[in-house]
Amino acid sequence: MVNAVENGSITSPRGFAADAVAAAIKYEGRLDLGLIVSEQPALVAGMFTRNAVRSAPVMLSSRRVARGQARAVIVNSGCANACTGERGLRDAEEMTALVAARLGATPEEVLVASTGVIGTFVPLDRVARAIATMRPDRTKGHEFAQAIMTTDTTRKEIALAGKVNNTSFTIGAAAKGSGMIHPNMGTMLSFITTDAAIEPSFLSQALSRCVDRTLNMVTVDGDTSPSDTVLLLANGLAGNPVLDQSNGAEFEAALSQVCTYLARAIAADGEGATRLLQVTVTGARSMDDARCAARTIASSALVKAAINGADPNWGRVVCAAGRSGAVMDPDTVSMTLCGTPVMSRGMLVAFDDQALRASLQLDTVEVNVDLALGTGCATAWGCDLSHDYVTINASYTT
């Protein structure tokens, strides 16, 4: 039994604190530097971008995550610190050293993530002055979620509380979107904390399984970022019997629920999005085929533009599946749009055009495609392609 924590955030689990300040990294007077601290060293698992171009923070943090323990994560928006060479790496290291000095930790215990414009340097002097003013506490989880936003229009955070063997545990999380979103084995920036005590290899495996079904199934524009990072910190303060593969099912279910929430929130707030697109593919020859078809449909420019116009142009959905690489036979495909059948085993189904157009104007548009070839199934989340997406991205660096 898992329950949402009212007003939950990244600091809802025991022993986590946060802070956020305005460091003028790209804009004045806007929270752009966030810090998460665990009062005692936490186990850590992480997943990172598979783009061949990796930001300096991704290079540094992925090395440090391999150690398995962390005390803090420093995160900035406004600058991705990517394509910045040796100097970028030194800047990322310096950010962690400054935080470590302030906390009485070693730099190796501090992780770093950055998001924003690619190819510019972090203004290290301003960041250093800002870090010197940070005073993390339990009340500032929301400010952290605010500080990591770039073109996001809403904070993305959640906390869930569950129980194992009469011991309650809590999971908190914060994430940011909202452009260059097409994660490949990592994800956009997502930070998850928990006070549950968890065996390290189970921690990594549970995170990997959950992210692959959730955050890795989000797409806004097909562009994988060099900054994608998800970190899960577990400090064990709940005092539960240590969870592993044998007794961790409930924790993993809760973690999956948290990741699904973040995935939907990121897709719904994709750059310029007016509605959430949820694509479920069933009956695929394999799970990989289902994932591939669902994500290709959700990222098709033509499907996304049609959803923007509430246009029941289902032919584009079938064609996107057809080019996805998934095995498919057009004669066996069935499809519903917002619950309305439009195609049945390869044949057109007559539908009420006006009624369907009305359904397509809902906040969430559900597309279900049954390939009828096997048992593979997967869900992907995306959003529509709007004029605002073009406006936002035609002038991002200015």
Nearer CB in complex with a second copy: 70/180: 180
Residue 244 CB, nearest distance to a second copy (Å)? Answer: 35
Residue 51 CB, nearest distance to a second copy (Å)? Answer: 4
Nearer CB in complex with a second copy: 214/300: 300
Q: State yes or no: is 84 an active-site residue.
A: no
Nearer CB in complex with a second copy: 171/317: 317
Rounded (10°) CA dihedral 114, 120, 121, 126: -80
Which one is catalytic: 49, 187, 194, 296?
187
Nearer CB in complex with a second copy: 130/343: 343
Residue 388 CB, nearest distance to a second copy (Å)? Answer: 9
Would you tell me which residues interact with a second copy (CB under 8 A)? Answer: 50-54, 80, 82-85, 117-119, 179-180, 182, 184, 221-226, 300-302, 305-306, 308-309, 311-316, 318-323, 326-331, 343, 346-348, 385-387, 389-398
Residue 184 CB, nearest distance to a second copy (Å)? Answer: 7
Tokens representing 86?
A: 């040796």
Nearer CB in complex with a second copy: 27/245: 27
Nearer CB in complex with a second copy: 243/321: 321
Is residue 309 within 8 A of residue 196, CB to CB? The reply is no
Residue 299 CB, nearest distance to a second copy (Å)? Answer: 8
Residue 87 CB, nearest distance to a second copy (Å)? Answer: 9
Asked if omega into 178 is within 30° of 0 (cis), the reply is yes
Residues annotated as catalytic (active site), given as ranges: 187
